[in-house]
Amino acid sequence: MKRILLVALMAVAAASCTKDKDPEPTPPSTTNDAAGNWTIKVYDGLTLASPAAGTLTMAGTSATAGTANIDVTFDGTNHNTEEDTYALTNSNANIAFTKTSTGSFSVLSGGGTWVINTLNATTLKMTSTNGLVIECTK
């Protein structure tokens, strides 16, 4: 009888030590996936090759908002710039820009709500409501 009780007690102890079958859910990301220093590779269907070049610097102020600075040159001398704030919406499927500077460009803010086609650690591809496509890499 003692042996049966000992086996039963060991079984209960072993069962209570097993891993929980329902782990805690992963909390939502608090990082801003669009933030970073991006090199523009394609601008409106044009692959940028020297002397043409472009950068898009995005700094996150929260998981879904931040500031953006774009600088594009087509001749290596004259730079088109724009400073904006941005908001990511629809689970990072869309991004909208609001111009905050008097830069010579209004391409981001003038593009309406952009569709983000690709956004990962190394690639950002987005399309404006006007059909302009910008492809960037880190």
Q: What b/e readout covers 44-58, taking b as 16+ CB neighbours within 10 angstroms?
A: eeeebeeeebbbbeb
Provide mean pLDDT across the span 71-78.
96
H/E element, 58: strand 53-60
For the chain, the straight-line distance linking the first and the last C-alpha, in angstroms and rounded, comes to 70
CA dist 52 and 49 (Å) reads 5
DSSP state of 14: H
Over residues 54-66, the pLDDT tens digits come to 999 999 999 999 9
Over residues 7-50, the pLDDT tens digits come to 555 555 555 555 556 666 555 556 788 999 999 999 998 999 99
Residue 44: alpha-carbon gap to chain centroid: 20
Where residue 6 falls among pLDDT bands split at 50, 70, 90?
Answer: very low
CATH of domain 36-137: 2.40.128.20
Q: Which residues pair with 136 in a beta bridge?
A: 40, 124
List the single range of 3-17, 93-107, 111-125 with lowest mean pLDDT: 3-17
Amino acid identity of residue 26, one-letter, is: T
pLDDT at 42: 97
CA dist 89 and 138 (Å) reads 22
pTM of the entire structure?
0.76
Q: Which residues pair with 54 in a beta bridge?
A: 72
